[in-house]
Structure 1
Amino acid sequence: MNQSLLVLFLAISVGFFAGKIKIGNVSLGVSAVMFVGLYLGHLGFSMDAELIQFVREFGLILFVYGIGIQVGPSFFSSFKREGLIFNALGVGTVLLGGIIAYLIHLIANVKIENAVGLMSGSVTNTPGLGAAKSTLIEIQKQLKLPSDYFSDPTIAYAITYPIGVFGIILIIILAKNFLKIDLPKEVTLLQEKNKDSENKIVRQKCRVTNSEVVGKTIRQLFKEYHIEGVIVSRQKQSGTKVVFSPSLDSILKDRDVLMVVAKQKNSTKFVEIIGKISTDLFIESEDDITTKIISVTKKTATHKTLAQLDLYNQFGLKVTRVVRSGLEILAQPTLELFYGDTLLVVGNKEAISEAEKIIGNSKKILLEPDFLSLFGGLIFGVIIGSIPIMIPSLPVPLKLGLAAGPLMAAIFISRYGGVGVIHSYINNGAIHFMKDFGICLFFAAVGIKAGHGFYDNFVANDGWMWIYYGCYITFIPLALLVIISRFVFKLNFYQMVGIMSGSYTDPAALAFSTKYLDSDIPNQSYATVYPLVTISRILVAQLLILLFAS
């Protein structure tokens, strides 16, 4: 046991160091742990069989659960507007890769488990590999086959993994040159396209100059002009320096200055109705009322709507925005609050202090790990992954497994803020640790196990031919993705690069592209396609094994 742990820690520590070494702008990152594990296994280092299986599966669960919690809040909203096109392109790339892997199995007479390993490595998709291995183990148990009946797909995965990392980077560079991309022009076009984006929340000062609205209450104004999605957080009457947080019954007077919070489109419409943009500085004064950020940490506020909390009538406070997992949401009365949400409130200091007694705002609690929610969520994910889905003609029932199950559970939990005593909040530092630690455990375990006889397997299976086959899986879907994205959907190059990286679930390619293009724009489309692509790759890997493993 001590030797097993020593080998595991050695693979992770050396691999993590090796992953920081850069070749140009590219580094292997945590995937270097797998290659160090392969080398250690090749040298004869080994781990206890039961321990290595536990480490591999536990690491995979932590990794995919962390991903789900991180991207869950944006998952369902990603199917709106362009997100639907982005996800269609990503899933299409997955399906095409699966078809090519099947054709390699059929034409080149490569065993299907090796073809799935080639597919997962060529697109750097670790959850797909994990799903394939779990499915093979399930078939072995159900049909009582010997443990070495199937080939280990990790060998093919490890051989083609570098092709996946560097192949997508090569396509990004070639696409930029062949398409003759003018980067400044692409940025300008994207800014023009998004200048009236409905999702961007802005804070705007405006002055009442329209005589038709003078004397009306804010409630009357909203009703008569059909104004929605606008929050008036501050009001200052002309000729005074007194700033207050208005109610819906507050009367608008000529030359009043208002501070409004709304999505860009609604804000522009509101300003056009009441008058003009203001440059008044007094309305931003913190003397009479102040702005404070409060975090939801008490049960008295969790899973209640802002209307139910009724902070304005109780304390004279206005909530203008809610930040959830990095997403900024307009504070509508019907918005349900989740544990860990951050509220931006406007009001006097004494009232804010009173409201904190209901909302919580305990930074200490948010920093402390809630193991009940974490492991409760993991149990929920394992249960979902273990539910059998009976499909006729398949040797064993289809299951989401330890890859897709925790991912789906995390997305569900983060979408609805929790299930019972399980809540979705995990601070960013803990999420990054959980993901990196989980993937390090997984890479180290599969690397050490696959390292035994790696060279012999490479020679026996003609590893250079596997690299050749992997190139088909890497380059053909990417090339088609570039052509369809650019010439059919006319997508911006920055967005296209994010879809390419997300479709191959390749953080190394994303890191390269943000530095190569000197922009964070690709991050947005990467995050949009990542969850659905990951689930698709897991299911495609499982189906190929279940349908064609002999």
Structure 2
Amino acid sequence: MNWFKDLVQGTPEIALFISIALGYAVGKVRVWKLSLGGIAGTLIVAIFVGMAGEVTLNDQVKNIAFALFIFTLGYLSGPSFFASLNRRSLRYGVFPVIEVVTILVITAVSIKILDLDTGTAAGLMGGGATESAVVGTATDAIGKLDLPADQIKTLQANVGTAYSISYICGLITIVLLTSQFAPAIMKIDLRAEAVRLWEKIGGKVEDPSQATALPNIVGRAQRVENVAGRTVAQVEQGIGDRTTIERISRDGSLVDVGPSVVLRQGDVVVLVGLREQLVRADAVIGPEVADSTLNLDLEIAQVLLANKELSGQTVGRLRSEAASSRDHGVFISGVSRMENNLPVQAGTEVHTGDVVRLTGMTKDVTEFAKKIGYKIDTGVKADFVFIALGVVVGMLIGKVTIDLGSVPLSLGTGGGCLLSGLLFGWIRAKHPTIGQYDPAAASVIKELGLVIFICCVGLSSGPEAVSLIEKYGFSLPLVGVLMTLVPACISLFVAWKVMKMPAPLTLGSVAGQQCSTPAITAVQGIAGNTTPLMSYTIVYALSNVVLPLMGPVVVAMAQALNG
């Protein structure tokens, strides 16, 4: 192994990318229904590589990567976070509160019983909460302690090692609890409960398996034989409330379309609507014809919802707005929040910052997009002026320090960039003509920044990992399980018995307070539709902001208890 040690020590960037490649490969391995994911897999591989080679990467690499990750996290969460601060959504705020209070109590008890050092305590808390951002905010806070450099290095290394152990235990615990044990404890059939909720918000009872499918929007040309003498509005209503006549050809010439236009025998009309409604067009209007001269190009546009009057309203309200306007040929074919696709049903609530997918004629889509928000220019992936300024503001905020006794308490780069990300994301939602950050580009930057940071932590943690595990042994995974299990069980009881929430929303909330994508994926798989996402996205947005800020708090608490 000497050649490998010499290689990674002489060229540490090779160690970085080896760890990422192997880490993502390990993260894809599934045991039953569980997989670690690329981030946790990279951390584990990096620890082993660090043990073999004692690799040291420049701290600036780690700091830059984490700043990009945490700013982007805040940017994506900002619109949903502020939109959730209303009377209806704030009830979900109880779950992050339960999470924070419980894990702080368990951390404090663990520090006193097991005599945990500051780094180990912070790592266990971050892993138990399955929140990777805590690793960054905690290590940043430890770096500001008035301690010898070698002691700070050891404490920071312990954060990564303890996090990796606790995260694995927490991941297994939250996935099994939400998808397997909780439905059994609640004595419910989760799929049946999800179908019931799906029906309540306007979904179809007869085909719940298609809950995640987009409306099948099609166009057809029909010759008028059965509805001569009727107006466009009457014919549209006769076929279906989501069908529109977009063109009328009469004697080879196009006629202006309007609701009061009367159709004549032999006219050819172009319909746009849902396939399930247009199958009746032959019987209602007349036979379908093939006329390529009347072909229409439908536009599919991503629109950022920015109209504050529509925030907190439902998809049904958006459909009513479209139906009552001149551009009534617009169809809402998708709604996403923080990269999660929500049910496209009448009862689904929408918030400022959500991305609404519109389908229809270009002119209609353009006009309706102006009413509800701003059409995202897919050609622009990122406004780097806006993003770079946001990171600078975050770093400046992170430099503000308040002395709490003998402990210097500050948000650091992590907390500062998180807050600036929230602010800049909110500004973007309010003024959508500036600061574009395409969701796909943001997702790549967020994950790349996090995996580079986590890899740096793992490589530096390697030499200390063995001694930490030898010192605490089995108590580390036990505390990791408790960190996840206790707050999740409390929230399960509060949501199900106290708040009387439907089962899909209950389990979505529990997964959201842990910011656990694997958990909500498992819950969705059993539910058979996307109803759990309606609560998950709100709680996730709140927890994603609160939990990273706990890094400095735990460091200060651990220092006080150990003092």
The alignment partner of 2:410 has SS state of coil
TM-superposed deviation, 1:104? 1.6
The match for 2:193 is 186
The match for 1:135 is 141
2: CA distance, partners of 1:41 / 1:530? 33
From 178, 181, 195, the equivalent of 1:174 is: 181
The match for 2:492 is 482
**Aligned 1:218-257 pairs, distance under 5 A:** none
1:121 paired to 2:119: no
The alignment partner of 1:9 has SS state of helix
**CA 1:525/1:424 → structure 2, altered by over 3 Å: closer, same or farther?**
farther
**Aligned 1:57-456 pairs, distance under 5 A:** 57-80=63-86, 83-140=89-146, 145-149=148-152, 151-152=155-156, 153-172=159-178, 173-195=180-202, 293=299, 326=336, 363=378, 365-366=379-380, 369-386=382-399, 388=400, 390=402, 393=405, 395-399=407-411, 401-417=412-428, 423-456=434-467
The match for 2:549 is 539
1:471 paired to 2:471: no
TM-superposed deviation, 1:434? 1.4
1: CA distance, partners of 2:80 / 2:166? 31
Counterpart code for 1:513 = V
2: CA distance, partners of 1:493 / 1:304? 31
TM-superposed deviation, 1:435? 2.2
After superposition, what is the alpha-carbon deviation per residue over 1:329-362, rounded to whole angstroms, capped at 9, x for unaligned? 9xxxxxxx99x9977675769x99xx9xxx9996
1: CA distance, partners of 2:300 / 2:285? 25
**CA 1:421/1:70 → structure 2, altered by over 3 Å: closer, same or farther?**
closer
**CA 1:243/1:176 → structure 2, altered by over 3 Å: closer, same or farther?**
farther
TM-superposed deviation, 1:84? 1.9
After superposition, what is the alpha-carbon deviation per residue over 1:152-188, rounded to whole angstroms, capped at 9, x for unaligned? 3222212222111101122221111121111233123
Counterpart code for 2:544 = T
> Sequence identity, in percent?
20
From 510, 517, 525, the equivalent of 2:520 is: 510
**CA 1:57/1:91 → structure 2, altered by over 3 Å: closer, same or farther?**
farther
Any conservation in 2 of the 1:90–1:499 contact (CA below 8 Å)?
A: no
Counterpart code for 2:32 = G
1:528 paired to 2:538: yes
After superposition, what is the alpha-carbon deviation per residue over 1:86-109, rounded to whole angstroms, capped at 9, x for unaligned? 232133222211121112223433
1:15 paired to 2:15: no
TM-superposed deviation, 1:394? 5.9
1: CA distance, partners of 2:447 / 2:141? 24
1: CA distance, partners of 2:359 / 2:406? 53
The match for 1:221 is none
Counterpart code for 2:487 = P
Counterpart code for 2:193 = E
1: CA distance, partners of 2:432 / 2:84? 27
Counterpart code for 1:512 = A
**CA 1:463/1:322 → structure 2, altered by over 3 Å: closer, same or farther?**
same
2: CA distance, partners of 1:464 / 1:429? 40
**CA 1:482/1:420 → structure 2, altered by over 3 Å: closer, same or farther?**
closer
**CA 1:530/1:405 → structure 2, altered by over 3 Å: closer, same or farther?**
farther
Report how many residues are paired.
471
Q: TM-score, normalised by structure 1?
A: 0.70
Any conservation in 2 of the 1:413–1:419 contact (CA below 8 Å)?
A: no
After superposition, what is the alpha-carbon deviation per residue over 1:253-280, rounded to whole angstroms, capped at 9, x for unaligned? 9xxxxx999xxxxxxxxxxxxxxxxx97
TM-superposed deviation, 1:442? 1.7
2: CA distance, partners of 1:195 / 1:304? 23
The alignment partner of 1:57 has SS state of helix
Moved more, 61-70 or 157-166: 61-70
1: CA distance, partners of 2:285 / 2:428? 38
After superposition, what is the alpha-carbon deviation per residue over 1:30-80, rounded to whole angstroms, capped at 9, x for unaligned? 1100000111112234124xx1x2233233223233333333333223344
2: CA distance, partners of 1:361 / 1:174? 42
TM-superposed deviation, 1:243? 7.6
TM-superposed deviation, 1:125? 1.3
TM-superposed deviation, 1:252? 11
2: CA distance, partners of 1:195 / 1:535? 32
**CA 1:135/1:22 → structure 2, altered by over 3 Å: closer, same or farther?**
same
TM-superposed deviation, 1:436? 2.2
Q: Unpaired runs of 5+ in structure 1? A: 197-201, 204-230, 254-258, 262-278, 307-315, 330-336
**CA 1:477/1:455 → structure 2, altered by over 3 Å: closer, same or farther?**
same
TM-superposed deviation, 1:536? 1.6
Any conservation in 2 of the 1:234–1:260 contact (CA below 8 Å)?
A: yes
Q: TM-score, normalised by structure 2?
A: 0.69
Counterpart code for 1:3 = T
Counterpart code for 1:32 = G
**CA 1:392/1:160 → structure 2, altered by over 3 Å: closer, same or farther?**
closer
Q: Unpaired runs of 5+ in structure 2? A: 1-8, 204-214, 218-241, 263-270, 274-282, 310-325, 345-351
The alignment partner of 1:396 has SS state of strand
1: CA distance, partners of 2:457 / 2:116? 21
1: CA distance, partners of 2:376 / 2:114? 61
Any conservation in 1 of the 2:77–2:544 contact (CA below 8 Å)?
A: no
Counterpart code for 2:485 = F
**CA 1:422/1:11 → structure 2, altered by over 3 Å: closer, same or farther?**
farther
